[in-house]
Amino acid sequence: MPCFAPQRVADPWSYGNWFAQVQSVYVRMTRLLAAALLATVLPALVHAQDAIKSRPLKIVALGDSLTAGYGLPATEAFPSKLQRALNAKGSHVEIVNAGVSGDTATGGLERLDWAVPPDTDAVIVELGANDMLRGVDPKVTRAAIDTIVRKLRERRIAVLVCGMVATPNLGQDYADAFNRIYREVAQTHGALYYPFFLDGVATQANLNQRDGLHPTAAGVDVIVSNILPTVEQLVARVRSGSKS
């Protein structure tokens, strides 16, 4: 009579089989979850990026009377004309006029938090002319502008620092200390730098109002034309996501 050796039947619930089954289920679930996330999260990210690109980029012009548009209609002020120039070149931007006539750098610092709202993408800083006209110690002006730029950079806001030039009657020592504030602050914080806001306009009688200090509408046109390439660099930084 034939003798058959008993055959061992694998226990489907042995530890090895159980672990393999659980691992297989886990892998399938992980793949399904990853696919679901890609199907939902990726379109949302793309939509968010498209929204950022499609909405107007918000730039705040933080300055004094040169920004505010002293003696001019609001539509002829620097922020309005700069926005029109950028829009005409295809840049979808909104420029907010945060200029206050008579403001010093310290004054700009004091109102910084409410003058630059949370949804701001970039700031053009134009301050210091009144400090110079009043003979404020350049150390005070430097400290204020440095703090303004530092706080904006901490908020991940791109910054363009506009320089000012001291008048000769203040003496060479004052001029040397004052004039280098803007370049050095910009370099310290990785901001863009425009050497002289009134370039091409200062001392030009036909481009200034009767006080000889504030530009006419034609003077603002010159300022906008000169600074436009640098502001376009500012816009490009924001659009590329590189605000350093």
Q: Specify whether 211 is catalytic.
A: yes
Q: Point out the catalytic residue in the list 54, 119, 173, 211.
A: 211
Q: Identify the three-state secondary structure at position 47.
A: helix
Q: Point out the catalytic residue in the list 91, 131, 189, 214.
A: 214
Contacts for 68 with CB less than 8 Å, ≥ 6 apart: 77, 97, 99, 100, 101
Smallest CA-to-CA distance from 61 within 76, 87, 80, 75 is with 80
Q: What are phi and psi of 27, to 5 degrees?
A: -60, -45
Range list of β-strands (E), the chain = 57-63, 93-99, 122-126, 158-162, 192-194
The whole-angstrom separation of Cα 31 and Cα 221 is 59
Contacts for 52 with CB less than 8 Å, ≥ 6 apart: none
Q: Specify whether 214 is catalytic.
A: yes
Q: Specify whether 242 is catalytic.
A: no
Q: Point out the catalytic residue in the list 65, 103, 146, 189.
A: 65
Catalytic residue numbers, as ranges: 65, 211, 214
